[in-house]
Amino acid sequence: LGKYYLVDVDYPTPIGYIAPYKCKCYHLPKFRHSIGFANYNEVFNYYHSSLRCTMERTFGIWKNRFTILRHMSKFKFVTQV
C-alpha cells in the first residue's frame, strides 16, 4: 500500500508500477530545448524523468559511500524493515 516503482517505458506496468507515457517527450535534455509542454502527458513525463534521475544519482552516491550496497542479498520487504 502506497509503494510504487518508477519504471522505464518498455517495462510491463502491473499495479504499483508507474511508467512514462509512450510516444511523448521524456528525457530531460529534450525538455530543456523546447518551449513549454505540449500536453499533460509531457508534464507527467518531465516529472517522472526528473524523479528517476534524482533516484539513480542518489543510489549511485550511496553505493560509492557504502560498498556493501553493491552486493546486497535479496530479502523480503518485511525482513528489510
pLDDT for residue 65: 93
pLDDT at 58: 94
Residue 60's pLDDT is: 92
**Hey, what amino acid is at 23?**
C
Q: pTM, whole model, 2 decimals?
A: 0.69
pLDDT (0 to 100) of residue 13: 76
pLDDT at 1: 61
Query: Which residue ranges of the chain lie beneath pLDDT 50?
Result: none
Would you state the cell numbers that stand for residue 34, as one nine-digit string?
Answer: 523546447
Going from N- to C-terminal start, the domains of the chain cover: 12-68
User: What confidence score (pLDDT) does residue 20 get?
Assistant: 85
